[in-house]
Structure 1
Amino acid sequence: MGVHGPVVVGVDGSEWSKLAAEWAVQEADLRKAVQVCFVMATEDPSLDETARDTVGPLTEGLADRHPTLKISSDVVHGEPADVLLRWSADAQLLVVGSRGRSSLGATLLGSVSAKAATHAQCPVIVIRGRRDTGPVVVGLDNSPHSSAALKFAFDSASRYGCELRAVQVWQDPEYAPVVPRLGWELIDLRAEAVRGLAEQLAGWTESYPDVTFHKVAQRGHPVAELAAAADDARLLVVGHRGRGGFTGLLLGSVAAGVIHHAQCPISVVRGVNP
């Protein structure tokens, strides 16, 4: 991941990828990034001219509206997800639309956005709608990998000038008995989630005194509860490859799940293995 590298955007000519491009340019301005690269992948070299005709006007239009940014485009041969993963090695951020198919067959739908989000070497933003108000919501799970997601969330909230909502979803363990849990057992599980939130958020106030944050401990299914918590959010942030505490919350399946169910931009931040 290049901390000072370009913001890379996967485009395919669809309306969703155009929305991703517009979001990425605005984000690049906020980040004071130097460069934004629009990448269009095609597996058929005979479509190169059509691809350039598609990505060229988008590049020129956004460059005219954002003259302080260096906005470029590239048509690359290869399977779209693999192309984006290669570009992610030097990027500070990779942005893709949640779905869309153009006549070029470069699809940013489902499997491509999910593969990019869960295998990229930099944080990934999957655009599912756009909202310029509301909080940044981050899902936590007590794992070391959550710290990367939490830092990204605090950075974003500080940059946007909005509040942060930290959510820990708790469930009955996999070995829970068939009979319903007793009231005191549920109280204990919730208390454990609350303690986990407090421990993970300790010390961040000193680093981000400008960010107001709220803690939410919620029982339920991680995907459903995170999507609901982000109903009014400007951005939902989740980690990837985390398994910790009593939930195993931010494993790949949850990151992939919120990509398909949340109705705001979703950031998937890959944790560093301890």
Structure 2
Amino acid sequence: MSAAVVVGVDGSESSDRAAEWAAAEADRRRAPLHVVIANDDPVRAEHAEDAVRRAEAKCRTTHPSLEVTSEVVAGHPVEVLLRQSSAAQLMVLGARGLGGFADALLGGVSLGVATRASCPVVVVRKDVPVTVGPVVVGVDSSSCGRVALEFAFAAAARLGADLVVLQAWHEESLLAAPLSPTDRDEVERNIRLSLNRETAHLREEHPEVAIREVVQHGHPVAALTNAARDARLLVVGHRGGGGFDGLFLGSVAAGVLHHAPCPVAIVRNAAADS
């Protein structure tokens, strides 16, 4: 039996959208769906049981052939969801809760889980755009970028979507002298050649996926957020490691989670953490 797609819910409208997205993705993957609520307050036990039952029932209704299970797990939401991620093939979370019980569970949790989970994590906003647009993936020359690229190709194939592979670049330091037009053209030429080499074997594995490669000068968060305006999914890699630096300082993953208008997949390279 394949590993489950796990969705963390909390009774909020945002988590309802996450459950809907997770059920559809589990169906596409032909995987079971496991609905989880983490509860660290016994006073909220009845609310938690009711919320998880409602989410499970809705997923069963919309996807009758899908195997759906659910549970309420005692403990802090981040710790519970990170443990769940160790046996999951994918985790899905809402972007924010409603306040009170919901905020205690997912409102401040999705970023921490997304950048530390053992499996890929998709964070779904309340207003999921209805689109036939592409999957967009942000890449660089790192191993994390290659892992994100593989995930994005597979996602585009399942969705029957085009794939936009975007690499944004900019001078490493604000103190560095601006590149001349000739030097900038040379940098972009080299990036395009490298990008084409990176995608070559995946093009062969997924010939059904139409791909467009984009090299853009600018900040990665701005470039990816703009490219994802009509996207079905935005995929980025994350090197993991946790901590304050990993979550907030210069993190493309954190930036796109805050600003992208579509569901965002954070794909961590576990090998880079060891």
Confirm or deny a common fold (TM above 0.5).
yes
Q: What is the CA–CA distance in structure 1 between the aligned matches of 2:229 and 2:62, rounded to whole Å?
A: 30
Question: Residues 272, 80 of structure 1: CA spacing in aligned structure 2 closer, same or farther, 3 A cutoff?
Answer: closer
Q: Say which of 69, 72, 78 aligns to 1:72.
A: 69
1:147 aligns with 2:146: yes
> 1:11·1:18 contact (CA, 8 Å) conserved in 2?
yes
Q: What is the CA–CA distance in structure 1 between the aligned matches of 2:8 and 2:252, rounded to whole Å?
A: 23
Deviations 1:1-57 (A, max 9, x none): xx9211111111110000000010011111111x21111111111211121112212
Matches within 5 A, 1:80-229: 80-105=77-102, 106-109=104-107, 111-128=108-125, 129-130=127-128, 131-174=130-173, 177=176, 179-229=177-227
Q: What is the CA–CA distance in structure 2 between the aligned matches of 1:148 and 1:252, rounded to whole Å?
A: 20
- Greater mean alpha carbon deviation, residues 185-194 or residues 255-264: 185-194
Question: Residues 196, 176 of structure 1: CA spacing in aligned structure 2 closer, same or farther, 3 A cutoff?
Answer: farther
Question: Residues 209, 93 of structure 1: CA spacing in aligned structure 2 closer, same or farther, 3 A cutoff?
Answer: same
Question: Residues 252, 44 of structure 1: CA spacing in aligned structure 2 closer, same or farther, 3 A cutoff?
Answer: farther
Aligned amino acid, residue 23 of structure 2? V
How far 1:188 sits from its partner (Å)?
A: 2.1
Q: What is the CA–CA distance in structure 2 between the aligned matches of 1:173 and 1:87, rounded to whole Å?
A: 38
- Greater mean alpha carbon deviation, residues 20-29 or residues 66-75: 66-75
1:75 aligned counterpart, secondary structure: strand
Q: What is the CA–CA distance in structure 1 between the aligned matches of 2:186 and 2:231, rounded to whole Å?
A: 29
How far 1:185 sits from its partner (Å)?
A: 2.1
> 2:171·2:178 contact (CA, 8 Å) conserved in 1?
no
Unaligned runs of 5+ in 1: 243-250
1:41 aligns with 2:41: no
> 1:43·1:77 contact (CA, 8 Å) conserved in 2?
yes
Structure with more of its chain in helix, by fraction: 2
Which residue matches 2:246?
none
Question: Residues 60, 268 of structure 1: CA spacing in aligned structure 2 closer, same or farther, 3 A cutoff?
Answer: same
How far 1:176 sits from its partner (Å)?
A: 5.0
Q: What is the CA–CA distance in structure 1 between the aligned matches of 2:131 and 2:23, rounded to whole Å?
A: 14
Unaligned runs of 5+ in 2: 241-248
Which residue matches 1:52?
49
Q: What is the CA–CA distance in structure 1 between the aligned matches of 2:96 and 2:49, rounded to whole Å?
A: 20
How far 1:175 sits from its partner (Å)?
A: 7.0
- Greater mean alpha carbon deviation, residues 208-217 or residues 97-106: 97-106
> 1:7·1:28 contact (CA, 8 Å) conserved in 2?
yes
How far 1:197 sits from its partner (Å)?
A: 1.1
Deviations 1:70-90 (A, max 9, x none): 212211111111111000000
Which residue matches 2:259?
261
**Which runs of structure 1 show a deviation greater than 4 angstroms over 4 or more consecutive aligned residues?**
none
Q: What is the CA–CA distance in structure 2 between the aligned matches of 1:220 and 1:107, rounded to whole Å?
A: 35
How far 1:202 sits from its partner (Å)?
A: 1.7
1:273 aligned counterpart, secondary structure: helix
How far 1:181 sits from its partner (Å)?
A: 2.6
1:231 aligns with 2:229: yes
Question: Residues 147, 181 of structure 1: CA spacing in aligned structure 2 closer, same or farther, 3 A cutoff?
Answer: closer
- Greater mean alpha carbon deviation, residues 97-106 or residues 23-32: 97-106
Q: TM-score with structure 2 length normalisation? A: 0.90
Aligned residues: 261
Aligned amino acid, residue 201 of structure 1? T
What percent of counterpart residues are identical? 46
Which residue matches 2:244?
none
How far 1:252 sits from its partner (Å)?
A: 7.2
How far 1:61 sits from its partner (Å)?
A: 2.5
> 1:101·1:107 contact (CA, 8 Å) conserved in 2?
no
